[in-house]
Amino acid sequence: MVVRVDLSISLDGFATTTDQTPELPFGEDWSRLVSAFAATRTVRERVFKDMSGEERPYGVVLPAINTTGVDDEYAKAYFANVGAEIIGAGMFGLHNFPDDPNWRGWWGDEPPFQCPVFVLTHNPRPSIEMSGGTTFRFLNTNIEDALHQAFGAAKGKDVRVGGGPTVVRDFLKAGLVDRLHVAIAPILLGRGIRLWDDLRGLEAGYSVKAETAESGTIHVTFQR
């Protein structure tokens, strides 16, 4: 049972995007940031319910899809053995819909988590049960207690701190993360919330591995 983080960041270190508009609620930058992850066969099937399996690899003119290379190996690992997840109010979307008691998050009727998800917020609300095994539970507590509750729910599996960067940084600063995987997309965002701020010397105590995927994404893993 380990505490894991898996995040996508830009070359300049940003884990959030800033070009959202009412017409384009995710903006264009979000799809640039996660395009390699979203193109993997694992994500196509699990998140987008695309079972066609037809692969279009990198190196052709059209965007790659259903990829089965290095990015897909990381995508498979991303979904494996997670028993509970902790996320922040920002990642759930509470900051955008603070006054809507019926807001059920960005993640659709059948969110991809498929486990208990603990949402850290100073404005907790009743739990929401979604289809596919995801339950959102809202906690106003410190990160150590959130972790204790998540391990209690994880049934012997790992706990992922899913994001966003504000919550992830708190767990990293407190030394609570056993494995940090960052997928560094070969794009520049120029602004947003940076993952690495105030984490000088974070690498101490971890062994570090880096691998470059066909998409140009660099997967860096810090493992205790």
Residue 198 Cβ vs ligand NAP, minimum distance, rounded to whole Å: 13
Residue 63 Cβ vs ligand NAP, minimum distance, rounded to whole Å: 20
Residues that bind ligand NAP (CB under 6 A): 7-8, 15-16, 87-91, 95, 120-123, 140-143, 162-167, 193
In angstroms, rounded to a whole number, what is the distance separating the alpha carbons of residues 104 and 21?
20
CB nearer to ligand NAP: pick between 18 and 212: 18
Residue 45 Cβ vs ligand NAP, minimum distance, rounded to whole Å: 19
Backbone CA torsion sign across 172, 107, 194, 222: positive
- What's the token pair of residue 22? 């009412």
In angstroms, rounded to a whole number, what is the distance separating the alpha carbons of residues 80 and 90?
24
CB nearer to ligand NAP: pick between 173 and 204: 173
Sequence-distant (6+) residues with CB within 8 A of 147 are 3, 86, 159, 171, 176
CB nearer to ligand NAP: pick between 39 and 91: 91
Q: Strand 207-212 and strand 218-223: pairing?
A: antiparallel
Residue 120 Cβ vs ligand NAP, minimum distance, rounded to whole Å: 4
Q: Which residue has the tokens 């995040």?
A: 7
CB nearer to ligand NAP: pick between 64 and 118: 118
